[in-house]
Chains A and B, each alone.
Chain A
Amino acid sequence: EAQVTQNPRYLITVTGKKLTVTCSQNMNHEYMSWYRQDPGLGLRQIYYSMNVEVTDKGDVPEGYKVSRKEKRNFPLILESPSPNQTSLYFCASSFGQGIGYTFGSGTRLTVV
């Protein structure tokens, strides 16, 4: 089954404790992206990647890191999480920007 898999689905952590949210796709998509979704706001892009070893900042990259060492994986790293990073996170992949996006099920992160 073609899908984007995110883990974990839920995570509660403390301020400053490094964490990684994994994202993996099995569709050989070149384009991958991370978004955060907050109440009353639309999805906002954190980082995106056009291909292996190519990553770019989105609208809200501060406090996040990503890597794209393999085509299928695009982990999101929070080196020192803060409470304002409490949010719902989505990973997505596509053959090209804006075309046929497939989204993961989301990761609900709470930073206390």
Chain B
Amino acid sequence: KQEVTQIPAALSVPEGENLVLNCSFTDSAIYNLQWFRQDPGKGLTSLLLIQSSQREQTSGRLNASLDKSSGRSTLYIAASQPGDSATYLCAVQDSNYQLIWGAGTKLIIKP
């Protein structure tokens, strides 16, 4: 059964730093992997979607990589800002087209 793990559960860094969030999954037979952002009291916002055949995707200051063989994905955030503070979730779509979610990393960017 597919399991998705995100480490660390929480991270606090000063503004301006580059940082990496990690996501690992146990079964490499995935359809795609997505990174989401969750703000308190709001829904989830899709940040990046990486298809299983792709290695990375970029959007602005965000870059997500995928290494399917090792069961890992990273979300790189460049030049972090206080507005980046949120919980970041990764989810893999398995061969049955279902999304399996990690528990998230709560990120705090200190001004």
Contacts and interface: CB of A to CB of B under 8 A. Distances in A.
Nearest to B104: A42
Contact of A100 (B46, B98, B99, B103): B46
Interface size class of B (residues with CB under 8 A): 20 to 34
Nearest to B101: A42
Interface of A: 4, 40-45, 58-59, 90, 92, 97-106
Interface of B: 4, 31-32, 34, 41-46, 49, 89, 91, 93, 97-104
Given A41-B103, A101-B34, 13 more contacts: A4-B43, A40-B103, A43-B91, A45-B98, A59-B98, A92-B44, A97-B99, A104-B43, A105-B41, A105-B42, A105-B43, A106-B42, A106-B43
20 contacts: A40-B103, A42-B89, A42-B91, A42-B103, A42-B104, A43-B89, A43-B99, A43-B101, A59-B98, A92-B44, A97-B98, A98-B34, A98-B99, A99-B49, A101-B99, A102-B46, A105-B41, A105-B42, A106-B41, A106-B42
